[in-house]
Structure 1
Amino acid sequence: MTAATPQELAPARPDVRTAPEARLGRWHGRQMDPRRNGLNVVRLGLAVLVLHAHAYYISGRGVGPHVDGENLGGWAVFGFFAVSGYLITGSRWRNPLSTYLVHRVARIFPAFVVCLLVMVAVVGPIGYVWLHGTLSGYLTTSTTPANFVWSNLFLRVNAYDIAGTPADVPYPGAWNGSLWSLYYEFLCYLVVGLLALVGFMRRSVWGLVGAFVLSVAAHAGWPHGVATLLGGNVDAQLLAKLLPLFLGGALVERLRHRLPMHWAAAAGSVAVVAGAVWLLDGWGAQLTAPFLAYALIWVGSALPIPDLLRRHDVSYGIYIYAFPVQQLLVLTGAHELPLLAYDVVALAVTVPLAVASWLLVERPAMRWARRSTAARPA
């Protein structure tokens, strides 16, 4: 995945005009202001980190730096899921299931479907002509453009190439290696949506703590018997890997009134995550997901950003369009530039696509969803 998402999720609206106070014993301070924060920039940074991680693969420079078996893109995805868990849980706890699902579908699906169409109408033909010198046979060569769209239409990505392209490039057979994570993010949406139907989950945070602990146990126990019980199902394995990050963010949201935003606590959280990753093989990030979420939320609460970036979230567009842009740039030879220069060129080409996705698809879809559900009671 390298990343998700989309993340891309509208900040929860509070019941008051300013961020309320949070207290933990004698320690007190402010919660993150849900209306004036830098989470859009946090997610934008994570999307750019995914772009950078993919640049190693796409340009033929190997796999890049890894930490605890994850490349930089994988860690960015962890961050996306933690932040999404925080935002999504607040939305779910304030809305009935029907409203919540309409909002979630409107947030993730329209831009995703448009991206698929752009890939078969623009990206695939360019790659096919570059490879064959003609468009003859483009519509009938496996994987056909129609099959590409249909196979991937419901978020689970089953096809990465279009008509046998890209080919003769350092990373062949995949036009968009970022889309895979969106399926698992939507599954996390469904998990939180269903958990909130349980009265105990709504009344007490301990229910959510129990769900988080079970998710960590499922991931940590995957090599030790859980995989056998589930027949080695890859979807279950990836969900078990990412769900703890999402529920970690959910826990921070449910405890927000007890967790003041403070730099020292954020620094301590980073130290806890680093220690767990160092000591535990492959599941330290999952175990300390609430600490990771807290650190990212603190960054979002402390970042001073202009209103333009606060009101416009292009991180999802960058996430879904960067990979095909990077592959197209390979056809021009841009991947032979120094890695950071290649990153800058790819980002410069991707940003207009992300802005168009936000202005023409994502924001209108979310506005429609809000209008269509405005009269529904909680």
Structure 2
Amino acid sequence: MRPPTVLQGAPYPYRANSLNLFRLILAGTVLVAHSFYTTGNGEGPHIRGENLGGWAVAGFFVISGFLITRSRLRTSAGEYLLHRIVRIFPAFLVCLVVTAAVFGPVAMLMQYGSLAGYATTPVTPLQFVWSNITLYMNEYSIGRTLSDLPYRSVWNGSLWTLYYEFLCYVMVWLLGALAWFRRSAVLAVLAFVAATAAHALESVINVAGLDGDFLLFLKLAPFFLGGACVHFVIERWGVNPWIGAGAFVVTGALILGVPGWGGQASAPFMAYGLLWLATVVPQPRWIAVNDVSYGFYIYAWPVQQLLALGGLGIGGGALGLIVYNVAAVLLTFVFAWLSWRLIEHPAMSRIRRRVVVPSRTGSAAA
């Protein structure tokens, strides 16, 4: 059966899009959103009770849902899981170590002029690394460091989302074992509807005694599943520019018009719009071959805290905040590039096997 003409579009250019650039922009948006908190300049702009960083994370999740679903359907269960572990864990673990062994001592010297007690005062550097090693953030502080800042004693307020992203990886890993999921979008759509409905009924679920971790998962999972649903749509019908532009209109209407769960309901439209836009907006070749967005995301907060510890951005008004953000972007970019070149890219290169799967795009596995 031929697809309806109104839905028909061009095959998605998996090897010629700007998703690296878009993810880097989203990571930069998270940095800017966090800058208000780390410098004590209020909470910054909000849309429907969520700051810009929260909406940027939603963008991350819808794009990830699209790409990860494609990966699951094109690789074996074991290979998929190995790729997901290697993509997220090595850089995360190195970030924990760098925070404890480099950022922490620098902060200690800046605050107290000495490293006395740094290795033994709870939470010790080793405790910080070990307690967070599973992706679940149990500890955010290291000893007495950062105790005088507006966002006191928190070394990385961004890493908490990685635990929920990995849970979404596992969810798709399990769904991918079902032939029904592989054949059509029906199961992905049902999962998306169920997750969105569960989030909308959060107050009822909360009464049932489920904790805040599960509620956070219900908040983020619909975005990931929305991206998964769009994968099936684009694989069958391609990407249509008119639908792409219209998807942004629907996304805005749902977010602004439906309090509480409109953002989650908008996830498939948000995903389609961003994916279409990534086929229109060009990206620099350097960014196309260097995916620094993950490193940027995980290093931005500790860099911002060190800059705040040095007094940059605190009490400086709007201009001070701009200078602070520019400095944070530049310094974070250095750490992101080092993470990509020394950790992420080498780790993925070692485990990636070339998988050739016939498809209309002719592209290899994501």
Tell me, yes or no, if the aligned pair for 1:160 and 1:174 is still in contact at 8 Å.
yes
2:171 corresponding residue in structure 1: 191
User: What is the root-mean-square deviation of aligned Cα atoms in Å?
Assistant: 1.7
Give 1:308 deviation, angstroms.
1.8
The whole-number CA distance in structure 2 between the counterparts of 1:374 and 1:279 is 44
The whole-number CA distance in structure 1 between the counterparts of 2:174 and 2:322 is 43
The whole-number CA distance in structure 2 between the counterparts of 1:261 and 1:23 is 12
Query: Are 1:216 and 2:216 counterparts?
Result: no
The whole-number CA distance in structure 2 between the counterparts of 1:145 and 1:176 is 14
1:267 corresponding residue in structure 2: 245
Q: Which amino acid aligns with 1:204?
A: S
From 340, 354, 376, the equivalent of 2:336 is: 354
Query: Are 1:286 and 2:264 counterparts?
Result: yes
For 1:335, what is the secondary structure of its paired residue?
coil
The whole-number CA distance in structure 2 between the counterparts of 1:53 and 1:121 is 27
1:15 corresponding residue in structure 2: none
Give 1:29 deviation, angstroms.
2.5
User: Cα gap change, 1:276/1:117 in structure 2, threshold over 3 Å: closer, same or farther?
Assistant: same
Give 1:26 deviation, angstroms.
4.3
Tell me, yes or no, if the aligned pair for 2:146 and 2:309 is still in contact at 8 Å.
no
Which deviations, in whole Å up to 9, do the C-alpha atoms of 1:298-350 show, x marking residues without a partner?
A: 11111212322111100001100011001101122211452222111110111
Give 1:227 deviation, angstroms.
1.5
Aligned counterparts, 1:268-347, within 5 A: 268-336=246-314, 337=316, 338=319, 339-347=321-329
From 343, 348, 356, the equivalent of 1:366 is: 348
The whole-number CA distance in structure 1 between the counterparts of 2:76 and 2:100 is 37
User: Cα gap change, 1:216/1:72 in structure 2, threshold over 3 Å: closer, same or farther?
Assistant: same
For 2:8, what is the secondary structure of its paired residue?
strand
Structure 2 stretches lacking a partner, 5+ long:
357-364
TM-score (norm 1): 0.90
2:360 corresponding residue in structure 1: none
TM-score (norm 2): 0.93
Tell me, yes or no, if the aligned pair for 2:223 and 2:264 is still in contact at 8 Å.
yes
Q: Which amino acid aligns with 2:341?
A: L
For 2:352, what is the secondary structure of its paired residue?
helix
Tell me, yes or no, if the aligned pair for 1:128 and 1:163 is still in contact at 8 Å.
no
User: Cα gap change, 1:27/1:88 in structure 2, threshold over 3 Å: closer, same or farther?
Assistant: closer
The whole-number CA distance in structure 1 between the counterparts of 2:281 and 2:289 is 14
Give 1:111 deviation, angstroms.
0.2
Query: Are 1:110 and 2:90 counterparts?
Result: yes
For 2:336, what is the secondary structure of its paired residue?
helix
Give 1:28 deviation, angstroms.
2.9
Tell me, yes or no, if the aligned pair for 1:92 and 1:192 is still in contact at 8 Å.
yes
Query: Are 1:71 and 2:51 counterparts?
Result: yes
Identity of aligned residues (%): 48
Give 1:260 deviation, angstroms.
3.8
From 236, 240, 243, the equivalent of 2:221 is: 243
Which deviations, in whole Å up to 9, do the C-alpha atoms of 1:339-366 show, x marking residues without a partner?
A: 2221111101111110000000000111
Which deviations, in whole Å up to 9, do the C-alpha atoms of 1:90-121 show, x marking residues without a partner?
A: 00001111100000000000000000000011
The whole-number CA distance in structure 1 between the counterparts of 2:133 and 2:48 is 33
The whole-number CA distance in structure 1 between the counterparts of 2:39 and 2:55 is 20
The whole-number CA distance in structure 1 between the counterparts of 2:98 and 2:104 is 9
Q: Which amino acid aligns with 2:65?
A: G
Q: Which amino acid aligns with 2:205?
A: V
Give 1:369 deviation, angstroms.
1.7
Structure 1 stretches lacking a partner, 5+ long:
1-21
Which deviations, in whole Å up to 9, do the C-alpha atoms of 1:143-172 show, x marking residues without a partner?
A: 110110011000000111111321111110
Runs of 4+ in 1 over 4 A off after TM superposition: none
Give 1:36 deviation, angstroms.
1.0
Give 1:251 deviation, angstroms.
0.7
Which deviations, in whole Å up to 9, do the C-alpha atoms of 1:193-226 show, x marking residues without a partner?
A: 0001112111221111111111111111111x11
Aligned counterparts, 1:98-137, within 5 A: 98-137=78-117
For 1:153, what is the secondary structure of its paired residue?
coil
- Matched length: 352
2:359 corresponding residue in structure 1: none
Query: Are 1:207 and 2:184 counterparts?
Result: no
Give 1:27 deviation, angstroms.
4.5
For 2:313, what is the secondary structure of its paired residue?
helix
Give 1:42 deviation, angstroms.
0.5
Tell me, yes or no, if the aligned pair for 1:314 and 1:358 is still in contact at 8 Å.
yes
From 56, 62, 65, the equivalent of 1:82 is: 62
The whole-number CA distance in structure 1 between the counterparts of 2:121 and 2:45 is 36
The whole-number CA distance in structure 2 between the counterparts of 1:350 and 1:24 is 46
Query: Are 1:162 and 2:142 counterparts?
Result: yes
